[in-house]
Amino acid sequence: MAFLNSLNIVGSGLTAERFRTDVILQNIANQNTTRTASGEPYRRKLTVFETRTMSFDDTLSHAKGGGVRVREIVDSVMDLRPVYDPSHPDADEDGYVYYPNVNNSEEQVDLLAASRAYEAQLSALAVVKAMAGKSLEIGRR
């Protein structure tokens, strides 16, 4: 059962990092979106993770637990970027257009971190699979 719990933990990490990557790519794709369906400029999205803990009762019942999951997606509270462009259709009465609070360099760094975390989870998965294979060989001898 320990191998199944390990696979659940690694799998949850892979899923969470993939989701985080999708959110980062959404931010990059919308870095110049001055009007969303709500009429407001796009706001940078941030992924908030939480640990999935496993109780002693869960361990005894072999319930799925442990690992990480996405708790929520939150909008960044950083200020929008004002640019003076009175000819822009989204300009306010003072001629300013408010662009999203997305910094492409910051998104690239976050994307790199998410990719590295995903690669680390893949390495952990390889170790768990190797351990499971070795434990099956023990029973054959």
Burial class of residue 27 (count of CB atoms within 10 Å of its CB; 0-12, 13-18, 19+): buried
Sequential DSSP letters for 78-125: SPPEEEE-TTSTT--TTSEEEEPS--HHHHHHHHHHHHHHHHHHHHHH
Q: What is the CA radius of gyration of the chain?
A: 22
Using the 8-state DSSP alphabet, how is residue 39 labeled?
A: S
Q: Taking all residues of the chain, what is their mean pLDDT, rounded to a whole number?
A: 88
pLDDT band at 66 (very low <50, low <70, confident <90, very high): confident
Please write the tens of the pLDDT for every residue from 82-128. 999 999 999 999 999 999 999 999 999 999 999 999 999 999 999 98
Contact of 6 with 127, CB cutoff 8 Å: no
pLDDT band at 49 (very low <50, low <70, confident <90, very high): very high
Nearest to 30 by CA among 111, 100, 125: 100
